[in-house]
Structure 1
Amino acid sequence: MNTLDLAPHEFDAHLHFAENDLGPWFGADALVKDADGSRSAEFTHAGEQWVARLSYRDEGGLLPPTGGVTDGGTSVEHETIREFQFKIARHPDEDPVGKQDFTAHMSPRWGGLHAENSDGEVVEIPVPPTLQNDGVDLRIQGSNIEFTRYLDLFQTAARVLGFSARYFQKPEHTSNVMDAEKYARLHRDSSGPVHARDGPIASMAHLLEDDRTGYRKLVQNDNDEHGNNVQGYYHTATLDAERLGEAFPGHQYPKEVKHYYAREAATLDASEALAHPKVGASLQHSLLGREQTVRYENLVALERELDQTVLSVLSDAGLDVSPGDMGRSPYVEMDAYWTPSTSERGPDPIQLDLTRIRQEQESVVVRHLTDGLSPVQWESLSTLVADGGEVSPQDLADANDRHVGSVRRALRSMEELVSRKYGEVGLRSDYVAEMVHDAVQDAREATRTAVETSAKAIEAAERGASDAMAEWVAWCNRHGVDIRNRADALEIDLGEFDGVTWSYNGMPTTVSHRLKTAFEKWEAAGQDPERFRQAVVKFRANGVEGKRRAWKALR
């Protein structure tokens, strides 16, 4: 199907070139010297006007090779090893905003390269294996340009600036990507479901995490730098590859998923693009393992992952990622660098199974609690909930005056709730931890609740009520359901619910489930089903008051 084409934002990559040894570096030195310090040119690329400038870059302290000859055998007679900077930008006549541009910092590389830092200390510069026998590193940093255009634009700019056409033809396989982001800009009155408390960003952060392993970071900031309240100002979920793999099977790269506004958004009119937020996904290179990297040759695969992540988040928030009429879509059309459109180029969004993951974790907790836990299991769970550090089976045993063997047996029987490795124990996920915490707290009230429930059920039975009616009364007390008879209609207060997701009928799934159970028990007790259907249902979900007619939720 046709899906939304996303916009490129930040990009950062190291491109390595060794096919001409240090030739490009010598060429840059000669061109800049001949032009008295800098050289400029204009060119056309894909029907667009661009400008390019080559100049010296502030010295980075690189030192000449020992003996004036590199390990690759190249003679370098320069006493000062300069570095060079290309500035390539869209012509100001075509880019009045001035943010569609990039820099390319060129540095020579050879085996055994050293530099002197500001403290006078001499350090060795890491050099990739493909440049050990001489070459150049080209660091490209830019924004608002299609990722695959950077190399083409640079090659064209280099030629018009005077470089040999044979330079910069094929990046070495060690070339790598440090940062890349894709985004869509949403109307501010449409983006709420993305950053909502039960939206996809928050849900990903809460669910896709082992309690003690991996990386997960959630930021929810609704105030800008001036203290203005901007709902959804900066909401992000940063997850490592393992965590993301739970929601995006086959994805390899860690990412940050974000909903964010420009700094000045609070002061802007809705007619301006920057008054509206972006929803994006960016590579998180810092979360890669020490031996891992994102190869430039895998750029297309990376971009596909970013596209799919953003589209999936938008879709999960209920936004149309295949709009037929852009004029009525939730996407902003006045963005300087993006015009919403659809095509077959982009990947189909993945249906985020965050609800499935949440329900699976709920069922695991409920099953264990329903089946009954031994005292040792309860004690272990209580300790894990209360202790945020590293906990071993021996720690659990010591904390609760138990034999460590008993604790290990208890943990083995709860492997769906807890994870165990390397002598450490943790709850399976942040969401499981929340549910277990609530269960542990509720357990302390269990005896009192059971006594009150039993007493009311007995009282109902003594009044001559049926067993079904006694069960109805007991169920209401056990779940905190309050029934009030009004002159016009029954009022049913289902109580409070946290960490819920919303279903198609406008009520959280857990609320709907409780209401349907209540209706079944009401009917079984011989009460008027139509009176129940016309009842006003009240509830509090994630701290928000809700009210609906029962028949709308029961249909």
Structure 2
Amino acid sequence: MTGYVEPVPHEFAANYLFDANGLAPFFAADSQVKAGGGSQCSEFYDRGERWTVTLYYQDSNIVHPGSQLLTGTEWRLEEMREFRLKVKRHEEEDPVGQQSFNAHITPRWQGMKVEKRDGTVSSYSVPDGIREAVNVKVQGSNIDFSRYLQLLQSAALAVGIRADYFEEPHEYSNVQDAERYVRVHEDASGPVHARDGPIASMGHLLESDRQGYRKVVQNDDDDHGRNLPGYYHTVTLGPRRIREAFPDHSLPKEIKHYYAREALSQGDDSPLAHPKIGASYQVNRWDEKLGVTSEELNQLEHELDQTVLSVLADAGLDVAPLRGTGPFVRDTYFEVETTEDGPDPIGLDLTHIRSTQESVVIRYLVDGLGPVQWESLQTLVTDGGEVSPANIADEHDRHVESVRRALRGIEDLVVREYAKVSLRSTYVAELVHDAVQEAEEAVKRAAETGAKAIRVAEQGMEETMSVFIAWAARHGIDVDDALSRREARMKLRVGEPGRETRRAIKEGFRIWKEAGLPEERFRMAKIRFRDGGLSDAWRYLNPG
């Protein structure tokens, strides 16, 4: 095997609009259904494969136009119907029965009206430039995207409808859904859906905390409430943010790690016991459209495949196995084949993005932030709605221009667009949130320090004791109130054990002695760490 593993098609949906022959395809479908007494069934071959097709009808909510359309065409049909072609790979060649599609054929004409469920009637919007046409909505699975049009033509011909009716899709035709996937062994897929894996990281790092679209799902329980790590993990990103990871991509996508509903009831030798990793096109996440031309379908396949391969590679999986199937598992439609014609995976570089965002936040905190900048950040990390500079100004009784100037000074932290402001990513938001909380805690500690200093003074202790209180506040060390109870053992609550803690405690001991306080009292102090661990102060005062 050479090259990279090749993802395979899963779901696909598209609207094919045909106007070259007006309503002729619709009338032909009606005629053939009536000739067959309500349906037509047939078989055909495509690329040596055996397929079945059934033409049938369904009721329609399109309002009967009378004897003549507004376009002038005579309408001789008494009933309003719509038609469907059910196309499947023959069961002898596809025992699973999941390689199939359904084509829904509906008419379009200027002035068309539809009746809603509540009985009200409204006009149906037909694009300008379309006089009469048919729309064929195709929904299928496990078929190459580029094959649907040819299969539609062959299926139509098999039930007596001219194939050339479906040769030239109108430029308004568009893709609605598409997914490409691979199946990975359950023992190998963990790094993909891990909390710090590529799926979670893309949602965490690549999206503004308020702007654009981000959806992260991390569900580890199946539909029956049974725990299955990675059962359904997805991240959905709009086109702007997807380009941060894939600079040459333009299509919004969902990246998924998911199991079949019945996965836990399958044996290890069943493909369904192992998860799929896929990428799917998300039409609702942008205002543009993806057409059905060969070039556009190639772009779709390229972007989806490169996304899948890059996610796998980022998680450390071998995407070019030289022997056997590597971390992949065969199923009926995924043969674990490699190709040198597909796209190369690209480095997502999420670690670099994380480090860069951390550096930006740290730099601003070290350099110092102005009062208005701090107030703006406080609002952004605590307000869950849409935030504008005016909102921030109103909340803190500032002039809106002062807020705008403050925001311009921290442009690496925030995104400003259309009178709205947000933090640059969810990760930046969390870092800033922690910084804001730390600042608030520092103010609280300062107030507590002042109160302790007053108590110390009231107790007649030396003035230098206030220096010790300031030392504790500076290092975030909580000194137990045993200062006022001389018979009690002093307690110091600190952060993490290590070199910095040792240095801080030695400094505190020096200040304690300069205050003229009993050395033994400090040396015998009990140290409690943030994680619950315990130690004695004297252990940190010995050389080393």
- Which among 164, 167, 170 is matched to residue 168 of structure 2? 170
Residue in 2 that maps onto 1:59? 59
Indicate conservation of the 8 Å contact 2:329/2:336, yes or no.
yes
3-state SS in 1 of match to 2:231:
strand
* Distance of 1:452 and 1:389 partners within structure 2: 38
Q: Does 1:451 align with 2:471?
A: yes
Residue in 1 that maps onto 2:383? 387
Indicate conservation of the 8 Å contact 1:192/1:232, yes or no.
yes
Instruction: Give 1:61 shift.
Output: 2.0
Indicate conservation of the 8 Å contact 2:15/2:137, yes or no.
yes
**1:248-327 to 2 correspondences below 5 Å:** 248-289=246-287, 292-297=288-293, 298-327=296-325
Residue in 1 that maps onto 2:36? 35
Q: Does 1:353 align with 2:336?
A: no
3-state SS in 2 of match to 1:242:
helix
* Distance of 1:365 and 1:475 partners within structure 2: 24
**1:523-538 to 2 correspondences below 5 Å:** none
Deviates further, 115-124 or 18-27: 115-124
Is the alpha carbon distance of 1:454 and 1:420 closer, same or farther for their aligned partners in structure 2, counting shifts above 3 Å?
closer
Which stretches in structure 1 are left out of the alignment for 5+ residues?
A: 457-471, 480-493, 497-525, 528-555
Residue in 1 that maps onto 2:131? 133
**1:68-147 to 2 correspondences below 5 Å:** 68-71=68-71, 73-129=72-128, 132-147=130-145
> 1:331 corresponds to which letter in structure 2?
F
Which stretches in structure 2 are left out of the alignment for 5+ residues?
A: 446-468, 477-497, 506-528, 532-542
Deviates further, 27-36 or 369-378: 369-378
Indicate conservation of the 8 Å contact 2:67/2:76, yes or no.
no
Indicate conservation of the 8 Å contact 1:88/1:103, yes or no.
yes
Instruction: Give 1:433 shift.
Output: 0.6
Residue in 1 that maps onto 2:24? 23
Residue in 2 that maps onto 1:214? 212
Give the TM-score normalised by structure 1. Answer: 0.78
Give the TM-score normalised by structure 2. Answer: 0.80
Instruction: Give 1:401 shift.
Output: 4.6
* Distance of 1:354 and 1:145 partners within structure 2: 33
* Distance of 1:474 and 1:446 partners within structure 2: 19
Q: Does 1:410 align with 2:406?
A: yes
> 1:115 corresponds to which letter in structure 2?
V
Alpha-carbon displacement from aligned partner over 1:191-225 (angstroms, at most 9, x marks no partner):
01111000011001011111221111111110111
> 2:245 corresponds to which letter in structure 1?
A
Residue in 1 that maps onto 2:48? 47
Indicate conservation of the 8 Å contact 1:3/1:346, yes or no.
yes
Q: Does 1:239 align with 2:233?
A: no
Alpha-carbon displacement from aligned partner over 1:433-466 (angstroms, at most 9, x marks no partner):
100111122234558697249799xxxxxxxxxx
* Distance of 1:376 and 1:25 partners within structure 2: 65
Is the alpha carbon distance of 1:375 and 1:475 closer, same or farther for their aligned partners in structure 2, counting shifts above 3 Å?
farther
* Distance of 1:135 and 1:40 partners within structure 2: 25
Is the alpha carbon distance of 1:445 and 1:145 closer, same or farther for their aligned partners in structure 2, counting shifts above 3 Å?
same
Alpha-carbon displacement from aligned partner over 1:95-126 (angstroms, at most 9, x marks no partner):
11111111111112111111223333222222
3-state SS in 2 of match to 1:319:
coil
- Which among 402, 417, 422 is matched to residue 421 of structure 1? 417
> 2:382 corresponds to which letter in structure 1?
A
Indicate conservation of the 8 Å contact 2:66/2:75, yes or no.
no
Instruction: Give 1:390 shift.
Output: 2.5
3-state SS in 2 of match to 1:166:
helix
3-state SS in 1 of match to 2:332:
coil
Alpha-carbon displacement from aligned partner over 1:509-552 (angstroms, at most 9, x marks no partner):
xxxxxxxxxxxxxxxxx97xxxxxxxxxxxxxxxxxxxxxxxxx
3-state SS in 2 of match to 1:105:
strand
* Distance of 1:202 and 1:416 partners within structure 2: 23
Instruction: Give 1:288 shift.
Output: 1.8
3-state SS in 1 of match to 2:356:
helix
Residue in 2 that maps onto 1:5? 6
3-state SS in 2 of match to 1:439:
helix
3-state SS in 2 of match to 1:83:
strand
* Distance of 1:370 and 1:478 partners within structure 2: 20
* Distance of 1:59 and 1:404 partners within structure 2: 59
3-state SS in 1 of match to 2:381:
helix
Alignment length, in residue pairs?
A: 464
> 2:52 corresponds to which letter in structure 1?
V
Aligned-pair identity (%): 53
> 1:383 corresponds to which letter in structure 2?
T
* Distance of 1:299 and 1:152 partners within structure 2: 14
Instruction: Give 1:420 shift.
Output: 2.5
